[in-house]
Amino acid sequence: MKLYVKLLSLTLALMFVFLTGYFSGLFVSAEAATRIAAALRIAFLPPYAAFETIWSAVYITEIIILTSTFSKRILRKSVPLWICSGILDVITAYALFALNLFAFAFALSASALAVKIKITLFYVEKAPALSPGAAAISVWYALLCAAAFTLML
C-alpha cells in the first residue's frame, strides 16, 4: 500500500474523531457532569480527568480502526455507519448535557449503541484483528446507554 494512502487515511480518521469529539465536547463540562452525577445519586464520582482518560482511549482506538478502514477498500463499506454514529454521538451529548432531555438522550444513546454493535459485527466478519477495539468501544457506549437510562428514571 502506498504511503500517501496511509497518510490520507490517518488524516481522515483524525479529522473525523476530532470533529465528533470537539462538537460533543462543546456541551460537556465538569459542571454538567457533576449535575448529572447528582441526578444519578452517585456518592463517589471519579475525577473529571478519569473520564477524559477513558474518552482519550476511545478516541485513539477509533483513530486506529478508522485509519485501517479508510486505507482498505473492503472496509470502506462501514464508513456510513461511522458517520451515523458520530452524528448520533453529538446529538446525544447536546440532548443530555445542554437540554437535559434524558428520555430523548436515552433513545439517541440506544440508537448509537445499535450502530456501534453493527460496526463491531462488521469488523468481526471483515477484519477480525480490529474487532476487539470495536467491541471495547461498544462496551463503553453500552455503559453510557445504561447511565442515560438511569437518568431517565
Average pLDDT, the chain: 88
What percentage of the chain exceeds 70 in pLDDT?
88
Position 151 scores a pLDDT of 77
Residues in the chain: 153
Average pLDDT over residues 92-109: 89
Contacts made by residues 113-120, CB under 8 angstroms, sequence distance 24+: 113/138, 113/141, 113/142, 113/144, 113/145, 115/81, 115/84, 115/85, 115/88, 116/85, 116/141, 118/81, 119/78, 119/81, 119/82, 119/85
pTM of the model: 0.87
If one compares 27 and 58, the residue with the highest pLDDT of the two is: 58
Q: How far is CA 139 from the centre of its chain?
A: 10
Rounded to whole angstroms, the Cα distance separating 119 from 135 reads 9
31-35, 63-67, 143-147, range with the lowest pLDDT: 31-35
| C-beta separation of 141 from 72 below 8 A | no
Position 43 scores a pLDDT of 59
Closest CA to 54 of 81, 80, 21: 21
Collapsing DSSP states into helix, strand and coil, what is residue 129? Answer: coil
Task: State the pLDDT confidence band at 146, using cuts at 50, 70 and 90.
Answer: confident
CA 33 to each of CA 107, 128, 129, 135: distance values in angstroms, whole numbers, following the listed order: 19, 35, 34, 25
What pLDDT, in 10s, does the model give residues 37-54? 676 666 566 676 777 888
DSSP assignment of 8-22, as one string?
HHHHHHHHHHHHHHH
User: Does residue 89 carry a pLDDT above 70?
Assistant: yes
